[in-house]
C-alpha cells in the first residue's frame, strides 16, 4: 500500500513537472488514495498485531517440543511499548525470531498483568519478585542470550 502511494505521488509530480494539467479527477484520486493509506495503515497494523497476539506461544510448550537449548531474548518492558509504536507489520522481535529459530527456540519474558505481547518469542511468566532469579536460570540453560537496551531503561 505504501509503495502504491509513493508511485501515485511520483506519477503526479511527473505530470506536473512536464507542464501538464493533471486535472481535478486525477488530483482527487491521488488525494483520496493518500488519505486512505495514512488512515488505514495504522489501523490494519493494529488489527494484524491483535490477531497474532491471540496465537502467542508459551515458552514451556515450545521448550517441551524442541529439545535444543533456547535463545533467550531480554529487553525492558518499557522499551517494548516504544518499539510497538512502529507502524510496520513486523516488529523487531518478529524479525529476530525468523533468524534465531534456526539456532533454538526463541523465548522471552512476558510482562505480568498486561495484554498479550506482539508475536515473536514464546513467552514465559514470572512475578515481579521472581523474574531476576528466573532470568538467571534461563540464561544458564540458553545457548544464546540476546538483549535489546534502549535509552528509556526500565525493568
Q: Which residue has the higher pLDDT, 30 or 134?
A: 134
Q: Per residue in 61-104, pLDDT tens? A: 888 889 899 999 888 776 665 665 554 556 677 778 888 888 99
pTM for the structure as a whole = 0.56
Max Cα separation, the chain?
Answer: 69
Do 57 and 123 meet the contact criterion of CB atoms below 8 Å apart?
yes
Give start and end residues of each alpha helix (H) in 54-121: 59-65, 77-84, 92-100
All residues at 6 or more sequence positions from 26 whose CB lies less than 8 Å from its CB, including other chains: 12, 15
Does position 139 have pLDDT exceeding 90, yes or no? yes
Strand arrangement of the beta sheet that strand 106-109 belongs to? 122-124, 106-109, 71-75, 144-148
Q: Looking at residues 116-123, what average pLDDT do you find?
A: 74
Please, how many CA atoms are within 13 Å of residue 18, restricted to the half-sphere of its CB? 9
pLDDT in tens, 8-48: 677 767 777 777 776 766 777 777 877 887 888 777 777 76
Amino acid at each position: 500500500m505504501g509503495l502504491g502511494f509513493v508511485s501515485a505521488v511520483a506519477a503526479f509530480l511527473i505530470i506536473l513537472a512536464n507542464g501538464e494539467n493533471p486535472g481535478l479527477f486525477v488530483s482527487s484520486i491521488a488525494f483520496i488514495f493518500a488519505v486512505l493509506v495514512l488512515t488505514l495503515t495504522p489501523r490494519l497494523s493494529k488489527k494484524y498485531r491483535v490477531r497474532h497476539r491471540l496465537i502467542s506461544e508459551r515458552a514451556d510448550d515450545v521448550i517441551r517440543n524442541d529439545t535444543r537449548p533456547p535463545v533467550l531474548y531480554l529487553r525492558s518492558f518499557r522499551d517494548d511499548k516504544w518499539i510497538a509504536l512502529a507502524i510496520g507489520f513486523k516488529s523487531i522481535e518478529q524479525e529476530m525470531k525468523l533468524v534465531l529459530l534456526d539456532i533454538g527456540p526463541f523465548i522471552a519474558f512476558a510482562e505480568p498483568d498486561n495484554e498479550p505481547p506482539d508475536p515473536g518469542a514464546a513467552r514465559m511468566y514470572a512475578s515481579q519478585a521472581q523474574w531476576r532469579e528466573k532470568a538467571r536460570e534461563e540464561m544458564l540453560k540458553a545457548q544464546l542470550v540476546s538483549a535489546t537496551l534502549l535509552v528509556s531503561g526500565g525493568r
